[in-house]
Structure 1
Amino acid sequence: MTNLSSACAVNDVAGDVLLTRAYPAPSHPYRTPFQRDRERIVQARAFRRLAGKTQVFTSRASDHFRSRLTHTIEVAQIARAVACALGLNEDLAETLALVHDIGHPPFGHAGERALDRCLQKHGRRFDHNLHALRITEHFEQRYAAHRGLNLTLGVREGIVKHSKDYSAEQYPELACYFLDQAPPLEAQIIDLADEIAYLTADLDDGVESGLLEISHVRTNVEILARCFQIVERDHIGLAEKFLFHEALQLMQNTLTNDLIANTRANLSAAKLTSLSAVRAHKARVATFSALVESERLQEKRYLYDTLYTCEALEIEHAKAEEVVTALFEFWMENPEELPEGYGEEVKAEGLARVVADYIAGMTDAYILLQYAHIKRNPRLVRR
């Protein structure tokens, strides 16, 4: 099959600028710039901490549930497969997948919502994409000559733009990331690889937890039902749980194959044959087909209605929000209790941002230890 997108990959002359770094770095004899970025991310402390952060279920519930780290690895596998099939730069796609969730705080989306609400009271917002950029540019300290990981411009742009668009008017500090242009295809596929990974994994973990039943999933999720019917026909007599696992794998492949085929069709229909043409295209090129997109939305609604907002998880979410909010308020009222050395950061960034940064870097287990500590502290203001 003709590879329609090879000229659109970040490996042509137009993509050379994306290899630049904020600080000069000598070339490596056998590793590409994006391979080096990948390894810098994997060796970062913030990346390792993803092992202790919630995806959907806290690790305290079961060692078998996905953490933010195992989810990230699954996204990277899918992203690299899609990039390979489309003739894109696989190293860039994999690197962006590995870094895409590095800015998430503890307790998953519940923790992020709580942190954002806390910051809004001080005229700020919490955005995990922009926090990921702050981590890689400022907080990680691996080099003697500068702060940050000194990632290539291509990776930094992808961190910012893989899942949403930012306007130059609202975010002038991001002007260097080509905000008036679409991101390269390597960045565009990350958000959809993320969707494929969690749509599959959350059904798996939901059934494993006992909160979802296979029969109910089959009745209400069309794409899974279709896949289950196929594997049931091919594996007569197999136990339901094994059929379910086979159906999940087929569903993931179905979503991945559709993304590849539809993106290739979009490139052909719009006659996009270069990176600059992709950048100038008004709409994102990496998309699912209309049928699969409708099935994706149906499954996503199902997961929200039956899993993410179920009573058991809502109790966890409420606890997460209580912990994040109490700690934020405690350190806002008692900044001297922050770790030594944060004073200069407070002068530069303001107390609210520094407190949010400190909390966002914590694992689930560590933030609970901090909460237990301040619960015993009489200076904690109870609301």
Structure 2
Amino acid sequence: MLFARQDLLAQEDGHLAPYAVRSSQTRGRAYPEPESRYRTPFQKDRDRVNHTTAFRRLQYKTQVFVNFEGDYYRTRLTHTLEVAQVARSIARALGLNPDLTETIALAHDLGHPPFGHAGEAVLNELMREHGGFDHNKQSLRIVTHLEKRYPGFRGLNLCWESREGIIKHETRYTLPEAEGYEPHLRPSLEAQIVNLADEIAYYAHDLDDGLRSGLLRPPQLGEVELLRDLLGELGLRPEGLEELGRRVFIRELLGLLITDTIHATHQILQAHRIESPEAVRHHPGPLAGYSPGLTQQLEHLRAFLYENFYQHPYVVRQVGKSRFVLERLFAAYTQEPRVLPREVQKAAQEEGIHRAACDYIAGMTDRFALDEYARLFEPGFYR
């Protein structure tokens, strides 16, 4: 038995919740083109994101630890894959469109520069007089302009809903600027789920990497109510937490957060009688969320990670190094554009040297940025 695109669209119509975005109702692509014979439009979007150069580069971009610091720490790519897994699990339980959800999840960090959030802050500061830098905008810029894979248009020509979900990716620290994508309205529930999945993945894998690295010590877990209670339920003692116990603990924490999000979001949707994608968009606030009790506990976990992990002296030193490298690269490129590759020099003629240099740096992996610094500033380095 074969399932062609029309069969898959019919399956969506029959099985998705009324508030889910259906592929058959997409607002379409910027450039008309034939759809796939055996894929829905959002499945096609997902596959296009997977095959981009920007997606592959995430393998060598910082999550918390710079790429060369160890083979087992999360990178920006493994973080993205974990976000996609969490988001799919939540989306399926709520009857949402898993393909649109996965597309947004896989694309949400394409625009991250080398060295993680520290790199983003540096580029935003350097570009202050030239339009700034924001990784959400850069992700959209990649899929609409920078990736060159098709003869008829620039970018990936994704569906409107996929592009909207990328530009409206929201965290508690940043609110998106979504000019051209109905900024006065909320994004789809699929996009809202990706926002939460991003947080959930951070909580679990940053805690895991902190413990694995030794920057966080198991006895410290008892300082956080959520972690202390979960350890007790699992019969684990913080001071005696070994590798297998840590893996069980992180897995159960992830499951707890996912389950709470499913139940809490379902209750919110029922309470507000949300019965269509339009009702989602016009609702005054986000509809995806945690239960009130877990929300408060996560505030404590966030503060714990910030104080004991993100602000650990070792991490802060690496942030300082990355700032120095990116500032020197940006200065070298903007002061002497001839050191840039020919295609970047050509882009500078069209868009200005500052934006072209910023795009070039943002696309670098950690390793390439460090090698490029050595090529420019270290005598005897010719690789």
**TM-score of the aligned structures, taking structure 2 as reference length:** 0.90
* Structure 1: 5+ residue stretches without partners: 378-383
Q: Confirm or deny: 8 A CA contact 2:16 2:97 kept in the other structure.
A: no
Distance of 1:109 and 1:375 partners within structure 2:
24
Q: Confirm or deny: 8 A CA contact 1:228 1:244 kept in the other structure.
A: no
Q: Confirm or deny: 8 A CA contact 1:5 1:267 kept in the other structure.
A: no
**Cα displacement (A) at 1:297:** 1.5
**Cα displacement (A) at 1:241:** 3.2
Q: Does 1:188 align with 2:192?
A: yes
Distance of 2:198 and 2:176 partners within structure 1:
20
- For residues 85-142 of structure 1, the C-alpha deviation after alignment (integer angstroms, 9 at most, x for no partner) is 000000000111111111000011111111111111x242110000001111111111
Distance of 1:147 and 1:88 partners within structure 2:
30
Residues 191-210 of structure 1 correspond to what in structure 2 (within 5 A)? 191-210=195-214
* 2:323 equivalent among 321, 324, 328: 321
- For residues 252-307 of structure 1, the C-alpha deviation after alignment (integer angstroms, 9 at most, x for no partner) is 11111111111111111111111111111000100111111111111111111011
Aligned residues: 361
**TM-score of the aligned structures, taking structure 1 as reference length:** 0.90
Distance of 2:213 and 2:241 partners within structure 1:
18
Distance of 2:344 and 2:86 partners within structure 1:
39
Moved more, 240-249 or 197-206: 240-249
User: What one-letter code is carried by the residue in structure 2 that aligns with 1:221?
Assistant: V
Residues 50-199 of structure 1 correspond to what in structure 2 (within 5 A)? 50-120=58-128, 122-163=129-170, 165-166=175-176, 174-175=179-180, 177-199=181-203
Helix, strand or coil at the partner of 1:7: coil
User: What one-letter code is carried by the residue in structure 1 that aligns with 2:228?
Assistant: A
Distance of 2:22 and 2:283 partners within structure 1:
19
Distance of 1:5 and 1:95 partners within structure 2:
17
**Cα displacement (A) at 1:5:** 8.1
**Identity between Structure 1 and Structure 2 (%):** 42
Q: Does 1:6 align with 2:17?
A: yes
- For residues 154-208 of structure 1, the C-alpha deviation after alignment (integer angstroms, 9 at most, x for no partner) is 10000001216546xxx6xx22x12121101000011110111110001111011
Q: Does 1:231 align with 2:239?
A: no
Q: Confirm or deny: 8 A CA contact 1:200 1:252 kept in the other structure.
A: yes
Helix, strand or coil at the partner of 1:145: coil
Q: Does 1:291 align with 2:299?
A: no
User: What one-letter code is carried by the residue in structure 2 that aligns with 1:91?
Assistant: D
Give the root-mean-square deviation of aligned CA atoms: 1.9
What's the counterpart of residue 381 of structure 1?
none
Distance of 1:165 and 1:308 partners within structure 2:
21
Q: Confirm or deny: 8 A CA contact 1:57 1:65 kept in the other structure.
A: yes
Q: Confirm or deny: 8 A CA contact 2:218 2:241 kept in the other structure.
A: no
What's the counterpart of residue 225 of structure 2?
222
**Cα displacement (A) at 1:21:** 0.5
* 1:46 equivalent among 37, 54, 62: 54
Distance of 1:268 and 1:279 partners within structure 2:
16
Q: Confirm or deny: 8 A CA contact 1:259 1:287 kept in the other structure.
A: yes
**Cα displacement (A) at 1:73:** 0.5
What's the counterpart of residue 10 of structure 2?
none
Q: Confirm or deny: 8 A CA contact 1:223 1:251 kept in the other structure.
A: no
- Runs in 1 of length 4+ with deviation above 3 angstroms? 164-167, 238-241
* Structure 2: 5+ residue stretches without partners: 1-14
